[in-house]
Amino acid sequence: MNLFVNLFSLMGPLRPPEYLGPETLMPLASILAAIAGFFLLFWRLIVKFAKTLYRKVRGLPDEVPPEVEDSAEEEQEK
Amino acid sequence: MKKVIVIGLDGFEPKIAEAMMARGELPNLQKLREQGGYSRLGTTYSAQTPVAWSTYSTGTNPGGHGIFDFLSRDPKTYLPVMALSRYEQKNAFVLPKVVNMRRGTPFWDLLSARDVPSTILRVPCAYPPDQVKGRMLSGVGVPDLRGGFGTPTFYSTRKDLRADQSEKVVAVSVENDRVAAQVIGPRDPKTKSDHKFDIHIQILRAENKIVITSQGQPDKLEVQLGKWSKWLKVKFKVGMMQSVAGIVRFNLRQIEPEFELYASPVNFGTEEPLFPISHPKEYAHELAMKIGRYYTAGMAEDHDGLNLNRFDEAAYLDQCRIVMRERRRMMEFELGRFERGYFYCLYDTPDRLAHMFWRFREPDHPSNRHHGYNPDYANAIEEHYRECDAVVGEAMKAVDDETLFIVLSDHGMNSFQRGLNLNTWLYENGFLALKPGVQPGESGDFFENVDWDNTKAFALGLGCIFLNLKGREANGILNEEQAEQTRQGIIKGLTGLVDAERGAAAVRSVSRREQVYSGPYVDEAPDLLVNFSEGYRVSWDTPLGGVPRGLFADNHKRWGGDHVIDPALVPGVLFMNRKFRAESPHLVDLAPTILNVFGVPKNAEMEGSDLLS
C-alpha cells in the first residue's frame, strides 16, 4: 500500500483517492508492465541463478545427470 | 486387472522369432507364448514405424490419424515435407511451436479422462508429447538440434572428402597433435549460418586416444580409438542471453595417417530442450538425473553414419548396444515405481539393426559386392533378438496376477536387394513428363525438370503415388474422369511388373487409397500405394522425387533390409500372457484391448475389437 501511495505522490497534485483517471494510471501501468516484462524475459535465468547460488552456498554438487558406464565392450565382458 | 505392461520391439520379424523359439533360443518369449499366446500381427498400409505405431495408439487405420509415411508432399509446390510434425509461429510476438501431425485420439487420452495413469517411453509420433495423466517421453519424430532426423558431422584431415546427404564434413588440420574444431549446431534462420561450439582436441598417440577440451560438460572428454565417447553437453549461443543445449557423442575412427572423428547428430539436451520432448516437460531431465544422459532424438542409432561409410559395422553394433542399455535403464527405473495403469516402452533397435545387418543373411545381396561380406555378422539379428528376449524377461519381473503383459512389433523385416525407380516407370509409361530435351538421369531430386503441365502422376515417399489433380495440385491437369483412367492405367501397368534382369515380379499389387483407408484424413493420403514383392522396394532415388535412368537398380547401400513392401508380407509379432483371439489380430485391436482392461469403452473411431473377449 505504501508503495502505491508513494508512486502516486510522484505523479502530480491529484493523488488517490482524489482522482483515478487514465493519465494517473498509465504511468503506474507502465511501471508494472516493465517489472512484469523483466521477470518474463529473465525468469528462467533468475531461477537458474538462484538455484546455482543456493547450491554453491550449501556446498551441493551441480545438477548433472550421473555418469554411467556404457562401453559396449564392458557390457559384453559381463 | 490393474496394470498393462507393453514392450514394443520395433521391426521384430516373426519368421526369425518363430525359428528361434523353435530352437529354444528365446526362452522368455516362449514362456509368454505358453502362458497366453502368440500370433503374427497385421500391420498398416504402409508398414512403417510412424504409420503403424500411430494406428496402435489411436486404434484407427491411417485415414483416422493422418500419418501415411515419413514424408508427405505440399500440393502447392510438389515438394516433399516432413509428415510427422510441423513448426508454426502465428506471429512475431509468440514463440514458434511444434504441432503433432498425428491426429485421432490416442487411447491414453481416454485412460487419462478416467483417471488411469500412464507411463509411456519413446512412443513414435508424439512430438510434442500428449498431455497424458502420468509421464510420456517422445520417440520417433523428435529431430536432432538441426531439425533433421540425423545430421552427423565428420572431422577429417583428408581434403578429398565431400559431404553426402545431410551430414557435415569438416576439414581439420593437426598441429603439434592438436586439432581445433567446432561442433555444428542449429542453423540461424536469419543468417542461414550454423551456430557452433568450440572444441580443442589433444591427440595422445601412445594411448590411442584423444582428449576433447571444451566449455561443455564434462570439460575434458576422453575418446578411445574405435570407441564411442560418453555424452558431451554443448551449448550454442543463439542470441543475447539465449542459448540452446545439446548432447553429442564422438567416435574416433583414425589417428594416423589421417585424423578422422565422427560426431553423432546433436541430440536435444534434457535440461531445457528446444521444444518439449516429454510430459511433464521436466520429466525428460528428471529421468536423466536418475539413469544418466540418453539419446533423445527419435532416430537414436546413426544408420546414416554407417551408410555413408563414416564408421563400420562394429561401431554401429556398439552404438546399438549403448542405445539398448539406455532404454533398458529407462524401463527398469520406471517399472520399479510402476504400480497401476498403462506402461509402454519401445525398443527401436531391432528395426535399426536389422536394416543394416540383413545383407549378411544373404551372401548374394548386391550390397555385399560393394561393402564386403562378413560371415561373422550373419547371425547379428539373432544375437540381438536374444538381447530383446532378455529385456522381455526383465520386464516380466514386474508382471503379477493383475497384469496384462503384451510384447509386440509394429511390422516385420524383409530383404531389400532391388529398387524400382517409380518415377522413371511413370515417365516411361506416359504418366510423368520431363521438360523438353531432358531425359531420366538428368533430373535431380525434388522433381527438378518435371513438366507439371503434362504430368498425370508422380511418386514420392516410400511407394506412394499422387495424381496431379486439377484443383488440388498447383499445376493439376486431371479431372475426375481422367484421374480414374490414370489410376486404372497405373494399377494395370504396375501390378505384376517383372524385373527383367531377375525374371521376378517386383510388384504384387497396387492399392487405391479408398480400398485401404477410411476416416477424416483420407484426403491427405497418397492416391495409390505400391505393394512390393519380397526383395524389392522403391529405389533410393524415388522418395525425394528423383527420375533416374533405368527402371530397376541394385541396392548397394548397407541398408540392406526393409519392410516397406506389401504389408501382408511383413506382419509384426504379438505375445500376451493371457489367451487371446489368435485369428487375424491387427494393430487396431490393441487400443480396444487395453482400454477394456481398465473398463474404459473405446471411442467411435476405433475400428478393432478386444482381443481378450
The answer as to whether A11 is a domain residue is yes
In a domain, A40, yes or no: yes
- Residue B78: left (phi > 0), alpha (psi -120 to 50), or beta? left
Domain limits at A47? 2-61
Neighbours of B503 (CB within 10 A): 7
Q: Give B326's contacts in chain A (Cβ within 8 Å).
A: 70
Q: What is the mean pLDDT of each run of 10 residues along chain B (613 residues)?
A: 95 98 98 97 98 98 97 93 91 87 98 98 97 98 91 94 88 96 91 94 97 96 97 91 91 96 96 92 94 96 94 97 97 97 98 98 97 97 98 98 98 98 97 95 88 97 97 97 98 98 97 97 97 97 94 97 98 98 94 98 97 93
Cα distances (Å, whole numbers) of residue B201 to B13, B175, B221, B465, B572:
43, 10, 9, 49, 46
Residue A69 lies in a domain: no
Q: Do B318 and A68 touch (CB under 8 A)?
A: no
Q: How far is CA B225 from CA B158, B204, B228, in A?
A: 18, 10, 9
State residue A71's pLDDT score.
Answer: 52
pLDDT, position A72 = 47
For residues B543 and B462, is the Cβ–Cβ distance under 8 A?
A: yes
CB-CB contact of B586 with B540 (8 Å): no
ipTM of the prediction: 0.72
A78: closest CA of chain B, how far (Å): 13
Query: What pLDDT sits at residue B166?
Result: 82
3-state per-residue secondary structure call for B154-219: EEECCCCCCCCCCCEEEECCCECCEEEEEEEEEECCCCCCEEEEEEEEEEEHHHCEEEEEECCECC
The answer to whether the Cβ–Cβ distance between A65 and B272 falls below 8 Å is: no
State the best of B231, B313, B328 to mutate against chain A, taking most chain A CBs within 10 Å.
B231
The shortest CB-CB distance from A72 to any of B289, B292, B321 is to B321
What phi, psi does B363 have (nearest 5°)? -55, -30
How far is it, in rounded angstroms, from Cα B598 to Cα B595? 6
Cβ contact A70–B270 (<8 Å): no
Q: Which of A45, A64, A71 sits opposite B217 (nearest CB)?
A: A64
Which among A40, A1, A7, A3 is positioned nearest to A26, based on CA atoms?
A: A7
Strands B341-347 and B118-123: parallel
What pLDDT shows up at residue A3? Answer: 53
Cross-chain Cβ contact A70/B288 below 8 Å: no
Do B321 and A68 count as a contact with CB atoms less than 8 A apart?
Answer: no
Asked, for residue A8, whether it belongs to a domain, the answer is yes
pLDDT at B305: 94
Domains belonging to chain B, first-starting first, are 3-67+102-142+298-413+570-597 (3.40.720.10), 153-267 (no CATH), 417-565 (3.30.1360)
Predicted pLDDT at A11: 54
Is A65 close to B289, i.e. CB distance below 8 A?
yes
Give me the number of domains chain A comprises. Answer: 1
Show which residues on chain B lie within 8 Å of chain A, measured between beta carbons. Answer: 217, 227-228, 230, 241, 270, 272, 285, 288-293, 317-319, 321-322, 325-326, 329
Nearest-angstrom CA–CA distance, A75 and A71:
7
Report whether B585 contacts B59 (CB < 8 A). no
Q: Which residue in chain B has the smallest CA separation from A46? A: B241
A→B contacts (Cβ < 8 Å), by residue, are: 42, 44-45, 63-68, 70-73, 75-76
Per-residue pLDDT of chain A (78 residues; tens, 9 = 90+): 455 555 555 555 555 556 778 888 898 899 999 999 999 888 888 888 888 888 888 887 677 888 887 654 454 444
Does any domain span residue A77? no
Residue A31 lies in a domain: yes
Pairing mode, strands B194-204 and B178-187: antiparallel
Give residue-wise pLDDT tens across range A14-29: 555 567 788 888 988 9
Q: Which residue has the cell 492416391?
A: B527
